[in-house]
Structure 1
């Protein structure tokens, strides 16, 4: 769910209704009369259920009630605080990855409030590494390295962006998209690539696009640990970062295959099962097995499944068969 608004006063409730009126996402307002137990216990539940929390109450109260539930910036919701009259909106927690800064701006604009944002990159109108990762739907290799490179951006050091994908950002004097030969002119570097970087620049961070998809076929009852091991091996052989894995796909006959379902759970990514009729339309594009065709009615699984979920993308590995498992690796179009 998107946005929860919490308030303890009648005036706060009126302001919450004003905010809700202008939001284009589902909004739930919680008041003293709408929950039992303590505010702290309610907040613990809402931390798991909502992407954004707006508290219309004193900042001190908010700091105390959210403190037991803070984990890290990659999982915490965006938390904002507003005064009862709606004059100011403060981005309190998870400004970039949690989206609190952007939502603070949105809420403030909708009701005519003043946004209060304290992250240095935003104050200086500069992009941060974690915000860039969010905009490009990338995984961050290391949050510590991201902080270091963002510090260089804020301190006006020379930061180069070396990217395999299209990056549309306003270039500043000290932040520029570069080519490999220009890397030595930089103080730090942001790599944007799904590839494993064997010899990175000394002060750098990698943003990993989630654009790699896997088609998979297997013998019935194959254990997930074998699939996991083979995926790691294949990605290593292809020099592809495992964090770039976006989705796994197989034929609809495998939708109850425990090993494949556990594979998706292990990597925390979706598993898509494709209907045979869709595969039949394009199976002639791939090498076919008569044995497989007699068994399930189509002659190939891994390659056509990878092709379909990548939307006809680039094939990085046609197929590899080992121990009853067939894998095919694709880059999303």
Structure 2
């Protein structure tokens, strides 16, 4: 359900038993409500909380649900859905996502609000849940490009004015689109496909960025905190994104109204050509934390309110200090100091503040304090605005710890596939990223780090999640068995994680020992254990104790990380220990790259183990005293035939 939270409340609608059977499991996993006509009511559905029934006209029922739901999944014919929702559609910026699933669940169609309503994303997720084919018809999809009106969504950017349709059309036609990015994350630029139409650096063809007559540029995107006014007479389509990088410092008299605070901020921004939608939040002194007008203003605009004690604010150098203010609140500055502290300390990836570090650069201050009063409003407001290097996303980050199984796409669980598809960023070892690449989609941040940089992977994932992104961390096999899950949780704990933010969800996968076992039969039918022979993180004497104990206890043993190019003798020692307690004829299975194209399987006996090529991609299964080989199969009896 956590994966689908961006689409809640979500509703599914079916009018036939077949469509109901297709959508009902989906509503269980997605946390939606399945609406059926009363004529399909059966006693079996009485105890299913996800199923509800409607009476009368379906058209009227959909109209009653339309305004209160963010996504609609229809198990109806596409034409019927079009006729049902046509009178309800208003604008793609506000309409809910509309998805159509055929009765048997073979195809999932993104019908309406593909970008801003995230119907395209939901379509991919549902298709992965059902094992269906997603149908996406957006112009940018076929070019493997992120949609222009979705580029900034992961980073909390706000869409500004402009001809969004015109710029999107230019991208879809492959025309050159100039991007002038003054602030905000450039991560989206780093993951564009080769041959993309975006031009990031002005050259001899684009000398005058203000000219609409350039022959080589067909559209323009501004990414800035500045509020631009585009000429209606220009033939060049332009749009503007506003990253939330502006922190507004506020000082006000007791009892100042919300209206005056709002007026003061609007006037200040307009006077300095700053976009209101680029505001990250409001900052002030702690004694104003409960100021009614200020609190109401922040709640109305969904702005975070950051407050600081006077001792922190007085340590900041500001251009216009006031002795009067100092005498009143204990700091010579409130608005300027608070704005500067926020712009420097509250980066988008951390809510923590260090009061001991007071080296705040005054160059961050865009607008010195402005005092605003109104004849018809009580109180007075002081406004100052500073700019942060990193934008505030306004989102709660998530870490999705994903086990991808042995490597084949059909061996990954639907939930894990959905997590990978839903993530803003995917981090993993380069080999794993390559294996899951068909699941990934345009606009995702994909970062691969070498196999020796597991801790760096964990730290990078946490950094992005603390910033507000949804980050999938990929492990082969099961992420909680010799995978990244434990390392990420350890790193979070070391950083003082409260156990809640960022959110964490673990998606299990088929383990290496399970995958290897499935290729040779049923060697794990009785008690078994797994032991890694890598002593990079575990002392070798501890590994030896485990080998001795497992061998004596007659466990079936799975050896992970049996041998590398530089670590050879460990397998030899393990072999010697095992032969002390096991018959030389004990069956063994050596499985390399299970379920992958270069898979290699060898069945042999313990005495011949060292004669077989073994490396880090190999899992070794060693039977117990009851394990037998039968043809090409390895079987460990459970004991049923004794009774």
- With structure 1 as the length reference, what TM-score do the two structures score? 0.82
Matched, 1:113 2:132: yes
Preserved CA contact (<8 Å) 1:250 1:272: no
Structure 2: distance between partners of 1:326 and 1:293: 14
2:168 aligned partner? 150
1:320 maps to what in 2? 370
Q: Which moved more, 1:279-288 or 1:46-55?
A: 279-288
- Find the partner of 1:30 among 14, 35, 41: 35
Q: How does 1:66-215 map to 2 (within 5 A)?
A: 66-142=85-161, 145-164=163-182, 165=184, 166=186, 167-168=188-189, 169-173=191-195, 175-181=197-203, 182-183=205-206, 184=214, 185-197=216-228, 203=236, 204-215=238-249
The range that moved more, 29-38 or 321-330, is 29-38
1:3 pairs with 2:10: yes
SS in 2 for 1:284: coil
The equivalent position to 1:302 in structure 2, one of 326, 335, 343, is 335
Paired residue secondary structure (1:246): strand
Distance 2:366 2:315 in 1: 19
Whether the aligned pair in 1 keeps the contact of 2:13 and 2:75 (CA below 8 Å) is yes
Specify the SS of the correspondent of 1:222.
coil
- The aligned residue for residue 269 of structure 1 is 301
Residue by residue over 1:106-141, the C-alpha shift from the partner in whole angstroms, topping out at 9 and shown as x without a partner, is 211221111111222213433332122434533333
* Aligned: 1:43 with 2:62: yes
CA 1:316 to 1:45, structure 2 compared with 1: closer, same or farther past 3 Å? Answer: farther
Please state how far the C-alpha of 1:98 moved relative to its aligned partner: 0.8
Deviation at 1:191, TM superposition (A): 1.4
| Structure 1 pair 4–331 and aligned structure 2 pair: CA distance change class (3 A) | farther
Bigger RCO (CA 8 Å, 6+ sep): 1
Question: Are the aligned partners of 1:171 and 1:177 in contact in 2 as well (CA < 8 Å)?
Answer: no
Instruction: Say if 2:83 is the partner of 1:64.
Output: yes
Q: TM-score, normalised by structure 2?
A: 0.45
More displaced 10-residue stretch of structure 1: 128-137 or 72-81: 128-137
Does the Cα contact within 8 Å between 2:313 and 2:331 map onto a contact in 1?
A: no
Distance 1:15 1:306, change over 3 A: farther
Q: Secondary structure at the match of 1:141?
A: strand
- CA distance in 1 between counterparts of 2:277 and 2:303 reads 16
Provide the aligned length of Structure 1 versus Structure 2: 327
| Cα drift, residue 256 of structure 1 | 5.6
CA shift for structure 1 position 176? 2.5
- Contact 1:315–1:331 under 8 Å retained in 2: yes
Name the CA distance, whole Å, in 1 between partners of 2:164 and 2:325: 47
The offset of 1:94, in angstroms, is 0.4
User: What displacement does 1:199 show?
Assistant: 7.6
Match of 1:18 in 2: 25
SS in 2 for 1:131: coil
Instruction: Sort the Cα spacing of 1:96 and 1:199 in 2 relative to 1 into closer, same or farther, 3 A.
Output: closer
> How many Å separate the matches in 1 of 2:366 and 2:227?
14
In the TM superposition, what whole-angstrom CA distance separates every residue of 1:39-86 from its partner, at most 9, and x where no partner exists? 344434543333322112222332233233322111111110112211
- RMSD in angstroms over aligned alpha carbons? 3.2
Matched ranges for 1:211-250 at <5 A: 211-250=245-284
- Output the CA distance in 1 between the equivalents of 2:341 and 2:194: 39
Q: Greater shift after overlay, 79-88 or 315-324?
A: 315-324
Equivalent-residue separation in structure 2 for 1:264 and 1:253 (angstroms):
16
Structure 1 alignment gaps of length 5 or more: none
